[in-house]
């Protein structure tokens, strides 16, 4: 199994450097199994949003398309796909992933008032504002 770095995922998604994108695609085609750590998705979302100004819907579409490839496995898939759902409904991706990763029966404590409001709006009951 081969785990991907953020820069490889970004080349695949963006294709902004044709040479690297081609090398990355060829490399991935030769792998039996590709593993994507959830931290790579976290970093990739930040880069896509802040450096390339890619919108939320396009980021989600790219992530879902890539993770839908048969030989691609994502770390903690249940949490990642829950985070995608909350992100799709307006919550910050990092916050979504943090809360989804906290697990069932675990309260997520924060000083972030906006996070608390988003959690209430989405009926996520496990966020406590300090």
Q: What pTM does this model have?
A: 0.93
pLDDT in single tens digits along all 130 residues of the chain: 999 999 999 999 999 999 999 999 999 999 999 999 999 999 999 999 999 999 999 999 999 999 999 999 999 999 999 999 999 999 999 999 999 999 778 899 999 999 999 999 999 878 998 9
pLDDT the model gives residue 33 = 97
Domains of the chain and CATH, by start: 1-75 (3.40.50.1010), 91-130 (no CATH)
**What is the secondary structure of 29-97 as a DSSP string?**
HT-S-EEE-HHHHHHHHHHHHHTS---HHHHHHHHHHHHTSTTEEETTHHHHHHHHHHHHTT--HHHHH
pLDDT the model gives residue 129 = 87
């Amino acid at each position: 199994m081969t785990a991907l770095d953020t820069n490889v995922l970004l080349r695949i998604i963006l294709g902004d450097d044709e040479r690297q994108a081609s090398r990355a695609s060829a490399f991935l085609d030769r792998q039996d199994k590709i593993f994507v750590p959830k931290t790579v998705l976290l970093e990739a979302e930040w880069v896509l949003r802040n450096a390339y100004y890619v919108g939320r819907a396009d980021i989600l579409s790219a992530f879902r398309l890539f993770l839908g490839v048969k030989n691609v496995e994502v770390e903690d898939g249940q949490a990642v796909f829950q985070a995608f759902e909350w992100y799709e409904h307006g919550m910050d991706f990092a916050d979504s992933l943090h809360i989804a990763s906290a697990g069932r029966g675990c309260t997520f404590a924060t000083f972030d008032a906006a996070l608390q409001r988003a959690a209430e709006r989405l009926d996520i009951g496990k966020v406590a504002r300090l």
